[in-house]
A and B are shown apart, each in its own frame.
Chain A
């Protein structure tokens, strides 16, 4: 039976089940739809409730992404990062958005791969772009950037034009193109300034 619920009704049901664990949040502006903010310890419980409850039965995890709140603090979030889950139910034809705050110094959240296969690559991309670890995701390699790429491009403190990676090619060329062991660089010893040592001024 198809019973489409509004986001308000969904948050109500979540509040009934999880009490304080889930906070409803209504973004400003007319016609905004309500969403829920949940702590990461409860995240998996809430997600599996959303998936298995017959009134909700969210069978699609449409998207997982993250936001870096460095320059725009949101009092409802209170942390630097937040992961965002977009859900959809084919049975009831309703959508819902769930957010989980992630602190900067301990950037990890439990992975939703157990519940939805689509989380696998979506989380992998969020990891690649923001450096958030999804605990339990079996494949947290970089998705879009080269494996030896230092830095996380969608973080707000990463410059649009990069830190000189796009000019630092001689290191690739020395050890042969498409070589993977090229730069032994990891996120920690990433160069801060523009240019990358030998790559400068080439």
Chain B
């Protein structure tokens, strides 16, 4: 049985098409007489007339939106014959919250809190990405210390995200203790986050021009011991899964994404690198001083679920290296930009000093706040654990942005799911979904 054929649903003799997805979709949709072309007619890929080669009976199976294996509110509609998936369709939007609309009604600083709630597995990376976009919009310089703090914390956040993703992927294929271990280690990251930011999950730590408060005194010690613990843990995770017969059988060869397809589909992050394309925003267009650190972009060849699992582990190692280097050259100095028009003054000063009071007032009162130039716009990309997280912002010179668009990596990853699972078994679909790490909050916004 040829995997290629299963995944692409194409005869093997044929040359691989330029744009796999476009071709498939043309075939699947445009020639369908039922297709009405536009909303609001409900329509599914799968109609009851879908033919079955063997004349067997088909069943429609609903995976989600409330299903333990989807890790979120996703809905996958499967057309199955026995255990085999004949066709699949997806539906999202069950967690649509209107973040982008809200951004047009909140001030720039206020929206930092909302970014946490997008990818709640790694809130810090969202905070940092948004703060960087705003800083570009305003043309603000961030002090070095704040940059290094951001790097350290977002790498810790990335670690937590990756191991939880791997743990859940392990749970989906039967390695339950992997998930319990991962959660235990993530609690440790939460402890660190709590010591720094005051909250466990929704950090809201960055401010435009810097960070909200300085690190606690014993931070370095905590971070270093956590790094050590993580090194041990990664070794444990590796020894438990890699080379394990059951694990490999479940993960190898399922959900194969080839490099060029991944690029065509806009897939970024660990999934793209697991398909052999070495694109990482941290290296390609460094931000927050990533160019100062010595790290590599690991890649894998196979592009299957197993490769994605290994890729996440490999990236964890790199994150640990970055953290160690950043901890070693953590400079002293301010943590917030000196520009009084952008950063809020200290509370003490507000009470004692008329100038600070004025600055405070001007930033908080409606109609003032941070005002970028009218007509200015920026697209800023950062590397979140899931891939390229882009913020596209347009200002009309008011205190809230005219347009804020988040480019969530998950949405492009989830779009390929039907193609990855069509023709495979239901249990493979679960193994694929687990390693795609689709976070509903980020997907639906």
Q: Does B412 contact A (CB under 8 A)?
A: yes
Q: Does B383 contact A (CB under 8 A)?
A: no
Closest beta carbon of chain B to A84's beta carbon, Å: 7
Contacts of B375 in A (CB 8 A): 27-29, 74
* Cα separation A144 to B99 with both chains bound (whole Å): 12
A144 contact from B20, B35, B96, Cβ within 8 A: B96
Chain B 98-119, CB within 8 Å of chain A: the 1/0 string? 1011101100000000000000
Closest beta carbon of chain B to A61's beta carbon, Å: 6
Q: Which of B348-392 contact A (CB under 8 A)?
A: 372-379, 381, 388, 390, 392
For B444, give the chain A residue with the smallest CB separation: A144
Binds A, one of B174-182, B200-208, B260-268: B260-268
Q: Does B415 contact A (CB under 8 A)?
A: yes
Contact between chains at B29 and A139 (CB < 8 Å): yes
Contact between chains at A160 and B40 (CB < 8 Å): no
Q: Does A45 contact B (CB under 8 A)?
A: no
Closest beta carbon of chain A to B23's beta carbon, Å: 9
Q: Does B285 contact A (CB under 8 A)?
A: yes
Contacts of B19 in A (CB 8 A): 114-117
Known contacts A95-B379, A121-B411, A154-B100; A114 and B388 CB within 8 A of each other: no
Q: Which of B38-59 contact A (CB under 8 A)?
A: 38-43
* Cα separation A158 to B354 with both chains bound (whole Å): 41
Q: Does B233 contact A (CB under 8 A)?
A: no
A27 contact from B26, B376, B407, Cβ within 8 A: B376
For A32, give the chain B residue with the smallest CB separation: B376
Most chain A CB atoms below 10 A, which of B40, B279, B379: B40
Q: Does B93 contact A (CB under 8 A)?
A: yes
Contact between chains at B40 and A120 (CB < 8 Å): no
Contact between chains at A143 and B390 (CB < 8 Å): no
Chain A 175-195, CB within 8 Å of chain B: the 1/0 string? 000001000011100000000
* Cα separation A115 to B101 with both chains bound (whole Å): 29
Contact between chains at B102 and A116 (CB < 8 Å): no
Contact between chains at A141 and B43 (CB < 8 Å): yes
Q: Which of A76-104 contact B (CB under 8 A)?
A: 84, 86, 90, 93, 95, 97
Q: Does A118 contact B (CB under 8 A)?
A: yes
Known contacts A32-B376, A86-B392; A127 and B102 CB within 8 A of each other: no
Q: Does B61 contact A (CB under 8 A)?
A: no
Q: Does A30 contact B (CB under 8 A)?
A: yes
Contact between chains at A31 and B379 (CB < 8 Å): no
Most chain A CB atoms below 10 A, which of B35, B374, B379: B379
Closest beta carbon of chain B to A186's beta carbon, Å: 5
Contacts of B197 in A (CB 8 A): none
* Cα separation A113 to B264 with both chains bound (whole Å): 10
* Cα separation A133 to B38 with both chains bound (whole Å): 8
Contacts of B40 in A (CB 8 A): 142, 147-149, 185-187
Chain B 1-31, CB within 8 Å of chain A: the 1/0 string? 0000000000000000001111001101110
Q: Does B92 contact A (CB under 8 A)?
A: yes
Contacts of A67 in B (CB 8 A): 394, 402-403
Known contacts A29-B373, A72-B402; A90 and B22 CB within 8 A of each other: no
Contacts of B444 in A (CB 8 A): 144
A146 contact from B93, B136, B372, B403, Cβ within 8 A: B93
Contact between chains at B405 and A63 (CB < 8 Å): yes
Contact between chains at B263 and A30 (CB < 8 Å): no
Closest beta carbon of chain B to A40's beta carbon, Å: 18
Q: Does B396 contact A (CB under 8 A)?
A: yes
* Cα separation A31 to B286 with both chains bound (whole Å): 16
Contacts of B376 in A (CB 8 A): 27-29, 32
Q: Does A42 contact B (CB under 8 A)?
A: no
B266 contact from A122, A154, A160, Cβ within 8 A: A122
Contact between chains at B377 and A27 (CB < 8 Å): yes
Q: Which of A114-159 contact B (CB under 8 A)?
A: 114-118, 120-122, 125, 127-129, 133, 138-149, 153-154, 158
Q: Does A23 contact B (CB under 8 A)?
A: no
Contacts of A158 in B (CB 8 A): 101
Closest beta carbon of chain B to A161's beta carbon, Å: 10
- Chain B positions within 8 Å of A, measured between CB atoms, are 19-22, 25-26, 28-30, 35, 37-43, 92-93, 96, 98, 100-102, 104-105, 136, 139, 261, 263-267, 277, 279, 284-285, 372-379, 381, 388, 390, 392, 394, 396, 402-403, 405, 407, 411-412, 415-416, 444-445
A-B residue pairs, 8 tightest by C-beta? A118-B266, A117-B21, A144-B93, A72-B396, A138-B29, A121-B415, A144-B96, A63-B407
25 contacts between A and B (CB under 8 A): A27-B377, A29-B373, A59-B263, A62-B390, A67-B402, A86-B407, A93-B284, A117-B19, A117-B22, A117-B265, A118-B412, A118-B415, A127-B39, A133-B38, A138-B26, A139-B25, A140-B39, A141-B43, A143-B92, A144-B93, A144-B445, A145-B96, A147-B42, A158-B101, A185-B40
